[in-house]
Structure 1
Amino acid sequence: MMSNVQVATMEQALKAFNENRAWQQLCERDSSAQFFYAVATTGVFCRPECKSRRPLRENVRFFETTAAAQAAGFRPCKRCRPNASLRDPSNEIRAYLEANLDRAVSLAELARIADMSPFTVQRMFKQKMGVSPLQYQRSLRAGKLRGALKQNGRVTDAIYEAGFGSSSRAYEGAQLGMTPTRFARGGEGERIGWCAARSPFGWVIVGSTQRGLCWLSLAGTAAEAEASLREEFPAAKLQRDPSLSRLVDAALQSVREGSDLSENRGLPGALDLRGTVFQLRVWQALRQIPRGETRSYSEVAREMGEPNATRAVARACAMNRVALVVPCHRVVGASGSLTGYRWGVERKKAILKAERTGS
């Protein structure tokens, strides 16, 4: 058992570590930082992103709330107004992107909107939304294109209605995983290579388009595995490709060692994820959960900045098409129960155990 002196020393070290991090965020004018700082020589407290002159480190005091800063005798800055409702630049950026789907919006333009540097805009938006501004805009266009294609199937009309300036732009950045024409025909003519193999969790089957991995399913038998792929892509041309066994091995390695399939340069590791903007954000958030750990659906929603979207998060998990790589098995019920899993609760239990033990 630690002595009182040891406990006090640890608390001091933790405080120093946190204040060092806070000072770094202050120097970077990080608008996402969750604290306020006061300057002893001026008697004023500010937000971390305040444009006022940077104070000397020895004159700075940090506070978690404005009430704590005022209780210590500091008054709010008239420039950044820390007592005013917190501004969320990501909402302004998101609204601007949604209003300008018909053209590419540069980071420099978004930086002017948010009054930040382009680098800070990129980092802040990705932290908040799970995707970059460019990816967000492309996903919105892809969603509109999917809807227009399903509604009337007229490819040219749908392309321009979705905000693409030309058919070539739509074919390059639609995120459909196939050309708009093939999507309108239910995937007819799309080529998907596939491979199945045994694993500690039953049979694993992977499917890959030219864009990347689009399907990774778990099943009890080889026949069930192949049937799952054919059911998901009924109009596509499926072709067995033994070379894709490397993707199976990489997916299993991601369970044992926590490696990221998309970062394994020795493999065709790109992910061909097809979903709505919100689903893509959820799947990105799941990939941020450390191996061997779990989060509840409500925790994932809060971490995404969408505290009321618990049910939508659960639906996005249920729609995940690439098991293991997008680790929906790491999401559990509020009580810690394993709840449902597209590929079976017992498999979910076994995968989590393997992640925690590395076997």
Structure 2
Amino acid sequence: MTLFFTLKQCSLGHVLIAQSKLGICAVLLGDEVEPLILELKSQFPQAELIAAGEDQERIASEVISLIEDPYTKHDLSLDIHGTKFQQHVWQALQNIPPGKTATYTEIAQQIDSPHAVRAVANACAANKLAAIIPCHRVIRKNGSLSGYRWGMERKRQLLAREAHGAYKH
């Protein structure tokens, strides 16, 4: 497998965007570049990593636009790797509109696995597509924020940006 990757800056820090021939397979957020590259290598150990070309750079710019304004419409091709259960969870997450949240329990019920709340949380934690698959929109049943793979402060920022943007859209 060949992955084309690019590193960008956004309001949330560094972003690593990786694409296969089928679509975007990783959008990783972090404070430093090197850990993002190491994470990509560990997630796709058999992949040949190549610096993005012009086509991939254009798509990466679309991803940054989506991170900065979650109300941006997109038709990005995705190459999502995960179990069938994770795929069901991630599809449900993509149905949560910007400015809204859902609980882990609600997601479990939506995918007809009402007792799989912990598994839903694990699927959120396994999400490799920050902002595109909006796991940041999932909260605890009591309304409080729970963990976020890319840091609680980023989760707060994303939710605040969406709440603020709801007034503009």
What's the TM-score, normalizing by structure 2? 0.89
The equivalent of 1:238 in structure 2 is: 49
Deviation above 3 Å: which 4+ runs of structure 1?
A: none
Structure with bigger RCO (C-alpha 8 Å, 6+ apart): 2
1:249 aligns with 2:56: no
The equivalent of 1:301 in structure 2 is: 108
1:351 aligns with 2:158: yes
Residues in 1 aligned to 2:133 and 2:96: alpha-carbon distance in whole angstroms = 10
Residues in 1 aligned to 2:52 and 2:150: alpha-carbon distance in whole angstroms = 23
Structure 1, unaligned runs of 5 or more? 1-189, 264-268
The equivalent of 2:149 in structure 1 is: 342
Residues in 2 aligned to 1:258 and 1:313: alpha-carbon distance in whole angstroms = 25
Residues in 1 aligned to 2:107 and 2:71: alpha-carbon distance in whole angstroms = 19
1:291-327 deviations in Å (ceiling 9; x for gaps):
0111110011112222111111111111111111000
Structure 2, unaligned runs of 5 or more? none
Letter in 2 for 1:200: S
How does 1:33-44 map onto structure 2 within 5 Å? none
Q: Which one of the candidate residues 242, 255, 259 is aligned to 2:72? A: 259
Give 3-state SS (helix, strand or coil) of 1:335's partner.
coil
Residues in 1 aligned to 2:29 and 2:78: alpha-carbon distance in whole angstroms = 18
Residues in 1 aligned to 2:65 and 2:143: alpha-carbon distance in whole angstroms = 26
> Which has more helix, going by share of residues?
1
Letter in 2 for 1:196: L
1:257-309 deviations in Å (ceiling 9; x for gaps):
42343x2xxxxx21101111111111000000010111110011112222111
Q: Which has the larger radius of gyration?
A: 1
The equivalent of 1:198 in structure 2 is: 9
Number of residue pairs matched by the alignment = 164
In structure 2, relative to structure 1, the CA distance for the partners of 1:217 and 1:355 (3 Å cut) is same
Give 3-state SS (helix, strand or coil) of 1:281's partner.
helix
Residues in 1 aligned to 2:161 and 2:58: alpha-carbon distance in whole angstroms = 20
* 1:254 Cα offset (Å): 2.5
> Which has more strand, going by share of residues?
2
Q: What RMSD, in angstroms, separates the aligned Cα atoms of the two structures?
A: 1.7
